[in-house]
Structure 1
Amino acid sequence: MNAFYEHHKDNIRFDYRCFDRILLHAAIQPFQQEQRAVGFFWTYRQIYPVSRQVLRDIATQYHNWAKNRSQKWGVAIQEDPPGRRDDFVDRYFRRAQPDQVVAIIKAREPATIMTAIGKDDRWHLELKRRWVEQYNFYVQDSRWGQMFVRVCPYFPFSARVCLNQHYWLALRMQERGIRFQQCANAFLQCSDPETLQKLADSLTADDLLTCAQKWLTHFTPFFTAEERKHAGVQHRLFFAQVEYCDNLIFRRRAA
């Protein structure tokens, strides 16, 4: 046990460790090679060559889809707000239902997109880093609680998924009837700290994958079910940032 804990242990009500913010980068791996993107368009869409206009049309389709979905969900697409986005969207989560999209923010951010170089009927594809408008979908997931998915509307639809185990733990404790008080990224009170720690330790990679793939599939409607099954166009996930916290909850303010 470290010296800090030993010094303050008489004032510590309980402690627990868990993941906090988990940021996942999502990419469709076959399309990180331009030649395989060309092969996909020819095999599954009978499109060749893949021109600049083809790629523009794909992005336009996504913008139109996002606009139509926002109207169906009754969730306006909002411009990037000043300050922290988490603070801005917090009010939209207060009455959220399971698996509900509560807010959409459109903002210019860097992404890797496919570009077409050439003219007439002679084109080749290149991946480039560009600042483009992207969509941040804020969701109340039925298993993970508050989360967001950022999707680039430009092919090949790079994305990010942000999860937080504190929200996941809150739902697991509710299922078990454990009383707790949550304040942002910490539990200030818990009627069963031992079970809280066991739940925190029970998180698996499948928990992350199941949630992320569900929403990535939902937010990238460009691909058909047949293409997802046979063309390997599912997003693969990579850790971009992981925060692991060691929480000490004091009985009173320590000197």
Structure 2
Amino acid sequence: MERYFRHAQPDQAVAIIKAREPATIMTAIGKDDRWHLELKWRWVDQYNFYVQDSRWGQMFVRVCPYFPFSARVCLNQHYWLALRMQERGIRFQQCANAFLQCSDPETLQKLADSLTADDLLTCAQKWLTRFTPFFTAEERKHAGVQHRLFFAQVEFCDNLIFRRRAAVDALEQRLLDANRSIGQPNKLTLIFGRRITRHHAGKLQTVIEDMNLPNPVIRSHYRKGFLKQYVRDRFLLRTESATNNISTDYGIGKAVANLPQLRQKLNGIIDRYLEVQQDILETFVDHEELRQLTQPTLLPNGRRIPGLKLDQPRQLALMHSLVRFCYLAAEGTFTTRDLYPQTLQALRRTPEEYKLGSLRYDLWKLRAKGLVEKIPHSRRYRLLPHGYQICLVFLKLYEKIYAPLTAGILQPFVADESIPKEKISDLDRRYTAVIQALDDLVEAVGLKAA
């Protein structure tokens, strides 16, 4: 449709496409003098209007010609923002759904925040009135004959703009690697701001899609919504949250008047997602603090609780479950029964080998170190922000440093020696370099293997 918009005038319909699609229509049921109306789901011809609006730029309206004339209006705030900046004489460079350059970024942000529900309603009602000319102005005024508008699908994105493609590629690869390991991406629950219960319905996972394409997509599902992250237009790392049902996904009414709450919710989801990724990529813990974590905790009643160990399988499995659920980012809580199945899976044990009471004991050790808190007057717990970071440190040290190096020294894979150096991954080359440096150090200080 792009070529039809190039020379479009304001408030002009540039194209109309007729297509057969499903819609809810009113049908007459009965015979003789006994008839009634029922809503039915039918495949009918619908009309798709592509419009150049004077205030919104490019937009799209789909109208069903059968009563009650259901419709869909698609608006893009990036086009709206471009027109507002043109009115103010602000120079900018637009690239798809992003602004690569802007002479006044502060005004751009203020304009973005200034969008109201009335802006959406005014535009939508203007075109719906034109495309459903079945009622007079008098009927619309006195009988209230008009469309009621609700959010059907919403997308909200954040763009990180890089100057060099190499930098965005490097960051993307680190994010892909982190989502493969920490948090178990095929089971991960991520940061959608609502507590997960046993009544949850719909998808609840993070997957890495389109691995055969130049830019794979990290997609996290939650009920009818999802959050995805991918590279767009060479220099953009886009994080985008979307939903097809804001009521079930976020607990917000579908009415357009709820735009402020919806925008705040979607913005919070993206912020928490990026914060969690930053914790995964860069985690810092003071040396003295790490030493204290390994020491036993003495309670006021004199009871002594063991410290945290780097290579303790039960503890690492529990940390995997905590990170996998990401209750910190979800602003939710959990019970020990919530964690139990995932901890068993990470530990690769049966319920007979690792009982629920053992998990509660392991969780107690994390509580003693101030990583997890118990919600007063309940059986629920919360992983604290500091606790989330500590869990990541332990998992990183064990899975990325301790375990690979130990395996490379004690049980090297013989076939690796025949692989050409140019075909070895960058990460494996670094592990090999560390092992070689350790061998050189041992020889230099005069130590020999028995």
- In the superposition, the TM-score normalised over structure 1's length comes to 0.64
Question: Whole-Å Cα distance in 1 between the matches of residues 36 and 4 of structure 2?
Answer: 44
- Identity level (%): 95
Query: Does 2:21 align with 1:99?
Result: no
Match of 1:156 among 68, 73, 96: 68
**Shift of residue 252 of structure 1?**
2.2
Question: Whole-Å Cα distance in 1 between the matches of residues 45 and 80 of structure 2?
Answer: 30
Classify the secondary structure of the residue corresponding to 1:237: coil
Q: 1:11-61: CA deviations, max 9, x gaps?
A: xxxxxxxxxxxxxxxxxxxxxxxxxxxxxxxxxxxxxxxxxxxxxxxxxxx
Classify the secondary structure of the residue corresponding to 2:86: helix
Unaligned runs of 5+ in 2: 171-450
Question: RCO greater where, 1 or 2, for CA within 8 Å and sep 6 or more?
Answer: 1
User: Which 4+ runs in 1 deviate beyond 2 A?
Assistant: 119-122
Task: Map 1:87-166 onto structure 2 (within 5 A).
Answer: 89-166=1-78
Question: Whole-Å Cα distance in 2 between the matches of residues 132 and 222 of structure 1?
Answer: 18
Residue 173 of structure 1 corresponds to: 85
Question: Whole-Å Cα distance in 2 between the matches of residues 103 and 152 of structure 1?
Answer: 16
Query: Does 2:103 align with 1:191?
Result: yes
**Shift of residue 152 of structure 1?**
0.1
Greater CA radius of gyration, 1 or 2? 2
Residue 236 of structure 1 corresponds to: 148
Question: Whole-Å Cα distance in 1 between the matches of residues 164 and 105 of structure 2?
Answer: 18
Task: Map 1:36-75 onto structure 2 (within 5 A).
Answer: none
**Shift of residue 115 of structure 1?**
0.1
Classify the secondary structure of the residue corresponding to 1:154: coil
Residue 224 of structure 1 corresponds to: 136
Question: Whole-Å Cα distance in 1 between the matches of residues 108 and 73 of structure 2?
Answer: 25
Classify the secondary structure of the residue corresponding to 2:149: strand
- Code of the residue aligned with 2:31 in structure 1: it is K
Classify the secondary structure of the residue corresponding to 1:212: helix
**Shift of residue 120 of structure 1?**
3.3
Count of matched residue pairs: 167
**Shift of residue 162 of structure 1?**
0.2
Classify the secondary structure of the residue corresponding to 1:235: coil
**Shift of residue 119 of structure 1?**
2.5
Residue 189 of structure 2 corresponds to: none
Q: 1:74-100: CA deviations, max 9, x gaps?
A: xxxxxxxxxxxxxxx111111111000
- Code of the residue aligned with 1:138 in structure 2: it is Y
C-alpha RMSD of the superposition:
1.0
Residue 82 of structure 1 corresponds to: none
**Shift of residue 202 of structure 1?**
0.5
- Structure showing the higher helix proportion among its residues: 2
Question: Whole-Å Cα distance in 2 between the matches of residues 138 and 217 of structure 1?
Answer: 15
- In the superposition, the TM-score normalised over structure 2's length comes to 0.37
**Shift of residue 182 of structure 1?**
1.2
